[in-house]
Structure 1
Amino acid sequence: MARAPVESPERFGLDPSFARDPRDPCSDGPLSGLSFAAKEVFDLAGHVTRSGNPDWLRTHAPATADAPAVARLLEAGARLRGRTLSDELAFSLAGENLHYGTPLNPRAPGRVPGGSSSGSASAVAGGCVDFALGTDTSGSVRIPASYCGLYGLRPTHGAIDARGVTPLAPAFDTVGWFAATGAVLERVGAVLLPPGEIRPLRRIVPIADAFDDAAPGVAAALRPALRRLAALGLAFDAPAQGLALAAAAQAYRVLQSAEVWRTHGEWFERTRPSMAPEIAARLRAASQVTAREVDAAQREADALRARIDDLLAHDGVLCLPTAPDVAPLLGASAQPDAQTRMRVLAHTCIAGLCGLPQVSLPLGWVDGLPVGLGLIAGRGRDRDLLALAGSMASDVGNKAPSFGDRG
């Protein structure tokens, strides 16, 4: 069970009204004894799905049913502790919400938790819950997992029912989750993912461009994790080079922006919501994406997908730093550096553009701050990827390092 946090639940991104009125499980099951929280983009029956914005709250009616992912967890015996804070419309990777504040990053105080699943990551890292649902479009599970020193999974696109979840860019949106241990990450996957036989993954393909682009110290911090992969019997292929990740990130930006505007453009123009300036600017920019830009971006995405499929073949795993750097300082994203955002997208866009599962493992520290190792497997190999992650977690004692363990 999760340990009690030292501070109030609100500091960890938990809505206090929900924290005082948790939902008991529907029955006993494989998740009995575990508690969880759900990002505020998931429908909870009888409550308005706030999606991180007061005008979204004002212009939407209460949900009539729980999102299927939430319902499935309750049926499996987990206890719902509440809902957690998100960036507005889940359209940010920072985790700072202009209206409702910024959840604590328990493993890097004074720094952002990452977004958009900020509260979910904070609640798990702070010990409020055993696991938490998030969504991942551009990296909104993977980046907070890296920044907060957690295990986090973005599944194969479409593997988990996303009904009852506020969309951002449906062609890229996925339902993911965080856990403080590899064992819990696997237990949740056994409930949410489609059933299937575990097939071993046998080859590791490092993404040279991503390691080269990462901040000084990140590659060195993750080197011991690579050695542990080798110790598990996985063969290392020659590092993949020339993937043109900057171009892929730009293609992702164009395709995602077009999707976001199709999804939310009418609401944005009609409502004129109060939003953080950088998120409003991102929405306005999305309205300017042209069909020609989309066509060019799709060609770039198709070329990347073909190359990645070739690298993975039937038993490969891509390996890269989940994020190019440690968590930024609080307030650093108030006037976001577009170049910094594109560097992050260069690390997260592969799984997004290719619809692939990616797990982030908390296996490195840089100057006392956590960094994650990202592993990407082929489409539908989610359970295989979680089994590999579980083996890695067992090798390091299964639990994310404690506050004092900065080795």
Structure 2
Amino acid sequence: MLDQAMFAHQFEPPRQDSASGVFRRHKIAVSHSVSLEACVSGIGIPAWSETRTAASQDAGVVKTMMAQGASVIGQVQIDPLGFSITGFNPFYAELRNPHYRQYRVGGANAGIAVAVAKKLADLGLGNDAFGGVRIPAAHCGLYGYRPTPGLVDTTGIIAMADTFDNIGVCSASLGDLSQFQELVAKPSTAVTNIQGVVIAEPIFALFYSDEAMKQVYQHLEQLHLPQETTLAMNKLVLTRVEKTQVAIASQEFLLMYQAWLDSAELDLPTSTQGYLERLREVDYKAHYQAKKTRKQLRDTIAAMWPSDKVLIIPSTPGAILPRDADQPASDTFNLAQRRLMALADVCGLPQLTMPLFTHDNVPYGITLLAHPYKDKLLMEVARRWLN
């Protein structure tokens, strides 16, 4: 029953437009915010969808994959307003983490992560603004990929904030994500010579226990590439990046949704309402200044590691939260999680989250970040690590 409840629209049997192509054996689940022909898309609130008409065509990325044989199982649940990151939506089904039942799913695109983790689909597609795909992927023990902005067609994706809207993909298989990167997220710079990885130790120290960190280093021993650490990537940098994202996103999001929100008078979850209030507190002057700050941040962060290496940071701020976590714990975790994801969003970087180990029955993962258009570098480092 729960499998059906998380669907906004379900195709039985899955819809397949072509039986040939590299994705002919792949099923894909798309977020409710990704357009499918003849379906009404949404932002996690039924009242908003009631004001919309059905899409006249599939989203661009869906067209591309279906032309290569992919079949679509349907549109699945998203968190309210498309930017909550808890995986909880009081307007729809209560989703459970398939592999870690007592813990959160993560959001905003919780439905696609659940569908992939339950093996209903091979790949999940959604708008990855604010970490909307990478976060639930990390919570559910999956791989999550955010391409360099501009590499994947975003037409037919409901906008959250134009600056940060981008396709995100999750899968239980690195191979499937590599295939997506190679065939859909193109062109990107070819991998010629990987010089190694750079570990942001101050970020790990913020969130990981000594025992968890020990396991990280044990796994790093299996990666046969030169390794170094950096102190330049720290909490202060992440904090500044996340604040910049909020200031930029505020005017972009509110321009699209403020009038409707004022008339709808919604009872939103506390975490969703809290982030909405942060957006509303930003004035136009701060928004304008943040756009200039973003350019400075991109230049500063690009200098922290060379373009032939990847940066490694945690996927989540330590152990993911149990479903019944109290509000103070949730607020602290959510802010830290947003800071980890904002780096790629604000700086236009490709990012790959990957599961690494389980500690105290909770998934821990790392995330790889590369310079723009170095998407293949992420996949190659991850492949070598697994091999």
Same fold (TM over 0.5): yes
Kindly state the Cα deviation for residue 50 of structure 1 after the two structures are TM-superposed.
Answer: 2.2
Q: How many residues align?
A: 383
Q: Which amino acid aligns with 2:261?
A: F
Aligned to 1:142: 134
d(CA) in 2 for partners of 1:274 and 1:251?
A: 27
The CA RMSD over aligned residues, in Å, is 2.2
d(CA) in 2 for partners of 1:58 and 1:336?
A: 34
Aligned to 1:56: 48
d(CA) in 2 for partners of 1:19 and 1:210?
A: 43
Q: Is the 8 A contact 2:107 2:133 kept in 1?
A: yes
Q: Identify which range, 299-308 or 163-172, moves more after superposition.
A: 299-308
1:192 aligns with 2:188: no
Q: Is the 8 A contact 1:186 1:390 kept in 2?
A: no
Give the secondary-structure state (helix, strand or coil) at the position aligned to 1:312: coil
Aligned to 2:216: 222
Q: Is the 8 A contact 2:151 2:187 kept in 1?
A: no
1:363 aligned to 356, 364, 369, which one?
356
Map 1:78-89 → 2, pairs under 5 A = 78-89=70-81
Aligned to 1:404: none
TM-score (norm 2): 0.92
Aligned to 1:76: 68
d(CA) in 1 for partners of 2:243 and 2:149?
A: 20
Kindly state the Cα deviation for residue 388 of structure 1 after the two structures are TM-superposed.
Answer: 2.4
Kindly state the Cα deviation for residue 98 of structure 1 after the two structures are TM-superposed.
Answer: 1.0
Give the secondary-structure state (helix, strand or coil) at the position aligned to 1:320: strand
1:319 aligns with 2:303: no
Kindly state the Cα deviation for residue 77 of structure 1 after the two structures are TM-superposed.
Answer: 0.7
2:383 aligned to 390, 395, 405, which one?
390
1:9 aligned to 3, 27, 37, which one?
3
Aligned to 2:296: 303
Change (3 A) 1:204 1:119: same
Q: Is the 8 A contact 2:143 2:171 kept in 1?
A: yes
Q: Identify which range, 94-103 or 351-360, moves more after superposition.
A: 94-103
Q: Is the 8 A contact 2:189 2:375 kept in 1?
A: no
- Alpha-carbon displacement from aligned partner over 1:383-404 (angstroms, at most 9, x marks no partner): 23223223333x2xxxxxxxxx
1:33 aligns with 2:25: yes
Q: Which amino acid aligns with 2:339?
A: A
d(CA) in 1 for partners of 2:251 and 2:222?
A: 41
**Structure 1: unaligned runs, 5 residues or longer:** 1-6, 396-407
Q: Identify which range, 308-317 or 108-117, moves more after superposition.
A: 308-317
Kindly state the Cα deviation for residue 107 of structure 1 after the two structures are TM-superposed.
Answer: 1.5
Aligned to 2:108: 116
Q: Is the 8 A contact 1:108 1:148 kept in 2?
A: yes
Aligned to 2:287: 294
Give the secondary-structure state (helix, strand or coil) at the position aligned to 1:158: coil
1:344 aligns with 2:337: yes
Q: Is the 8 A contact 1:45 1:63 kept in 2?
A: yes
Aligned to 1:374: 367
1:90 aligned to 73, 77, 82, which one?
82
1:20 aligned to 12, 21, 38, which one?
12
1:173 aligns with 2:165: yes
Q: Is the 8 A contact 1:151 1:180 kept in 2?
A: yes
Q: Is the 8 A contact 1:193 1:383 kept in 2?
A: no
Change (3 A) 1:274 1:55: farther
- Alpha-carbon displacement from aligned partner over 1:35-73 (angstroms, at most 9, x marks no partner): 111011001111110221111111111111110111111
Q: Which amino acid aligns with 1:338?
A: D
Give the secondary-structure state (helix, strand or coil) at the position aligned to 1:18: strand
1:264 aligns with 2:257: yes
Give the secondary-structure state (helix, strand or coil) at the position aligned to 1:392: helix
Aligned to 1:249: 242
1:210 aligned to 203, 225, 228, which one?
203
Aligned to 1:239: 230
d(CA) in 2 for partners of 1:297 and 1:307?
A: 15
d(CA) in 1 for partners of 2:250 and 2:214?
A: 34
d(CA) in 2 for partners of 1:220 and 1:118?
A: 30
Kindly state the Cα deviation for residue 337 of structure 1 after the two structures are TM-superposed.
Answer: 4.1
d(CA) in 1 for partners of 2:52 and 2:212?
A: 43
TM-score (norm 1): 0.87
Aligned to 1:401: none
